[in-house]
Amino acid sequence: MLRPCPYVRCFHRCLATSISSSSQVQAPLNFLSGKRCDPSENIGNFDLKYPATDETLRQVPSSGERDVNEAVSQAREGFRSWSKLSGFERGNVLKRAANIMRERLEELAQTEVLDTGKPIWEARCDVQGCADTVDYYGGLAARISGEFLPLSNGCFSYTVREPLGVVGGIGAWNYPLQMASWKSSPALACGNTFVFKPSPLTPLTAVMLGEVYKEAGLPDGCYNIIQGETKTGQLLTTHPNIAKMSFTGSVPTGSKIMEACAKDIKHVTLELGGKSPCIIFEDCNLDNAVTGAMLANFLTQGQVCSNGTRVFVHKSIMGPFLAQLVERTKRMKIGDPFLEDTTVGATISKQQFDIVMRYIELAKKEGATVVCGGERVTVDPHLRGYFVSPCILVNCEDHMTVVREEVFGSVMSILTFDSEEEVIRRANDSELGLAGGIFTSNLQRAYRVASALEAGSLYINNYNVYPVGVPFGGYKKSGLGRENGPDTLDYYTQVKSVYVEMGDVEAPF
């Protein structure tokens, strides 16, 4: 068995140590009026940990009511000037920001690894995708416009798309930079200003994005970061001067945010959980189907809301599919996230590790069989984090808890099916409808099944790809609204209709 060179291990430990002691970690992590700052009041602290070592890097103070008020006040002040710029001018700022992100890709990626524990190559892909999204909305900003409607007798009407005001955002911990960029860039493109609360588990790169925006020319107050836990999020959500909330996270929390927004009739976008199907038909390209199933389950340690964790395999190809899947999954390298050949990094926290392991144990009690993985792995004495070998479960049934509920870990449940009609019915038997995958060489079948599946984001012969410009979002309890596409602009603007009378006013009195 090949072992990594001790000098290589030492280098990457030194790299992680260097980053953990850098200004990105140790500097203030709130960002108001174009600069980093500490909260003016401290309502408590939370630990910032590097998932791979479980090392506490620092304590981060939570922002209270005074700081939330200040962030919203700064955003309102910034809105006065930012909303008056043309879309072209706003777009230029975003496009400059995208270029700066590309220039700083490695620093952003390394900090993202420190935040999340995911492999460095994944983090680089994430940062590149975020830069592309910011660039994309920079290009769309100049095209935001209304419509002209000619009416009878020379009269006419026109519409104007106007920004909402101050937008609040709350992000999840699996893609922290993506949360900040996917929410802020369309909001800013439309002329809104933005106040964002990252997950307390991953507070770092959202602040770096603020510095990027500042350098690109974004006026002070237009992008603000407040760090905190549940109380801080509640203060932001219920603030009377927040016009809209955009949230990514769990269904229960999303439901509470929607309820809070309803009291003030706020706009809301929700990207919530998933328990998505990945359907493998008998006429698929087997190699591609296995690759797709792995992409649907094992990226970012399985901590992806769109994952296709219910893998439905046609009975006729179950044997060869499973054999190849297990063989390839066992070859995945679990290890130091900063090593280039690592394919499985660390679970985000002990709490999430415990959740994943409970689901695996419950699956076994309910009759499922583990054919691969599902165990904590010690990869290096210096890496004391929670590493889990990717788990494959067989003998699964639709009623099992692991099949019904989102695990948010590298746990793939394999089920078999006989017919197209049967698998569509079973795939749709869920409260959630975020995503789904279809592997087949029959394009007519692919179209039929895609049309029948109750999900917002579907993949044919691939999985978990997010090309910029393709809307992302769910059906049913998986959320409201769309991100990453042109439709997103509709959720960050409001329409004003203007009627123009060109003749004399007629009235019955």
- Residues 6+ away with beta carbon under 8 Å from 102: 128, 131
Q: End-to-end alpha-carbon separation of the chain, Å?
A: 95
Tokens of 244: 């809209």
In b/e form, how buried is each residue of 340-363, taking b as 16+ CB within 10 angstroms? eebbbbbbbbeebbeebbebbeeb
Residues 6+ apart with CB under 8 A from 199: 171, 172, 173, 176, 179
Q: Among 41, 46, 313, which residue's Cα sits nearest to residue 201? A: 46
Structure tokens at 18: 């260097």
Residue at 213: amino acid letter: Y
Distances (CA, A) of 84 to 80, 88, 341: 7, 11, 48
Sign of the four-CA dihedral 249, 252, 258, 264: negative
SS3 content of the chain, % helix, strand, coil (to 5): 40, 25, 35
In the block, residue with structure tokens 């600069």 = 35
Q: List CB contacts of 354: < 8 A, sequence separation 6 or more.
A: none
Tokens of 431: 């409260």
Q: What tokens were used for 392?
A: 């494959």
Distance, CA of 129 to CA of 177 (rounded, Å): 10
Cβ-contact 27, 198 below 8 angstroms:
no
Residue found by looking up tokens 């890496």 in the block: 383
Residue positions annotated with a catalytic role: 271, 305
d(CA 251, CA 172): 12
Cβ-proximal residues to 54 (8 Å cutoff; 6+ apart), any chain: 350, 384, 385, 386
